[in-house]
Structure 1
Amino acid sequence: MPYEWIAPEDPAPKSAPLAELHLWPYRSLLRRDFVTFFAATSAMILLPLLAVMGSPVLWGLLPFFIITVGGIWYALQRNQRDGEILEELRIWPDRITLDHIHPRRGHHSWEANPYWVQIKIDPHHEKIPNYLTLKGNDRVVELGTFLSDEERAALYDEVDFAIRAAL
């Protein structure tokens, strides 16, 4: 699953959280595979140009091939940047924090008292099944919207247990 619980250090310092959770989107194309995929795709797209090499038709087709390869490059780079989203949930006995770090939208933080935090899962949400939210300090925040439905359902139980254990 694209999340992990960080175990507290033993013996844990007083300022260290009792539980820490890191969440990130699933990445199907790793950075090292990007070069292989892009090279193979470019070779397959540019292969038909060999048939018209040396003729004036090459100059008519070349701009379309350049636009196609450039579009694929842009889409893959944007996908890589969007995959750098990170959510960090930290739980102390007296507070809970959620930091959402997005490469294009910046950094957003939320903090509340865990005693008053309500964790909810909406299995029939109109846009996101098993919509997972935390409510505290008169604010509702989403948790792990980039996870799959099953992962959010499993995460609900784990986060609820961690919050209750911290009290």
Structure 2
Amino acid sequence: MPYEWSSEPPHANPDWQLSLWPYRSLLRKDFVLFIGGTAAIISLPLFVVIGTAVLWGLLPFFAMMLGGLWYALHVSYKRGEVLEELTVTDDTAHLTRHNPDGERQDWKANRYWVSVHLHPKGGPVENYITLRGGDREVEIGSFLDSAERLALYGDLKRSLKGP
């Protein structure tokens, strides 16, 4: 799962931290292999027209396709550089979200008043999870898939009850 507890199980210790991040199916090291493999496969038909004027007509489109693919994957990686950290101590709960643009969002509330809410159909995504405490309600783990959010909801529910 793309989240990690600082201690297992989290409800055994009153102080714990939860880190969440988006799932990555294509790792950075595999990015080079993917682009290289795609270039090799797409260039196979170009071998037929080597030495002709047709090659120079097809080459710009090949370069644009490969450049577009590289750019799209790069943008996807930049948008996915999100990290959420929920730190809970005896008396406070503090959620920090590090956005891809470097902006940082913080939320802090008294642990006693923090509650976890699941919105199966009412949020922007299915099984939307929010934390409510103090005067604000904030989302957590919106980049996780539906099943992961359900598992996270159960874990948070148990962990925030206290020792």
1:11 alignment partner in structure 2: none
2:70 alignment partner in structure 1: 73
Q: Is the 8 A contact 2:115 2:160 kept in 1?
A: no
Post-superposition offset of 1:137 = 2.7
Instruction: Report 1:1-150 matches (<5 A).
Output: 1-7=1-7, 18-104=15-101, 106-125=103-122, 127-150=124-147
Q: Scaled by the length of structure 1, what TM-score is found?
A: 0.86
Measured in 1, the distance between the counterparts of 2:147 and 2:122 equals 14
- Cα RMSD (Å): 1.8
Work out which of the residue numbers 149, 153, 156 in structure 2 matches 1:159. Answer: 156
Post-superposition offset of 1:127 = 3.5
Alpha-carbon distance change, 77 to 46 in structure 1, aligned in 2, over 3 angstroms: same
Q: Give the total of aligned pairs.
A: 158
* 1:51-101, Cα deviation, whole Å (9 max, x unpaired): 222212222211111110001111111222233211100001221111111
Measured in 2, the distance between the counterparts of 1:159 and 1:130 equals 14
Measured in 1, the distance between the counterparts of 2:75 and 2:7 equals 32
Post-superposition offset of 1:111 = 0.9
Post-superposition offset of 1:144 = 0.4
Secondary structure, aligned partner of 2:124:
coil
Measured in 1, the distance between the counterparts of 2:105 and 2:39 equals 38
Q: Which structure 1 residue ranges, 5 or more long, are not aligned? A: 9-16
Measured in 1, the distance between the counterparts of 2:51 and 2:35 equals 26
Measured in 2, the distance between the counterparts of 1:5 and 1:81 equals 25
Q: Which portions of structure 1, spanning 4 or more consecutive aligned residues, are displaced by more than 6 angstroms? A: none
Measured in 1, the distance between the counterparts of 2:92 and 2:49 equals 67
Q: Which structure 2 residue ranges, 5 or more long, are not aligned? A: 9-13
**Matched-pair identity in %:** 48
1:12 alignment partner in structure 2: none
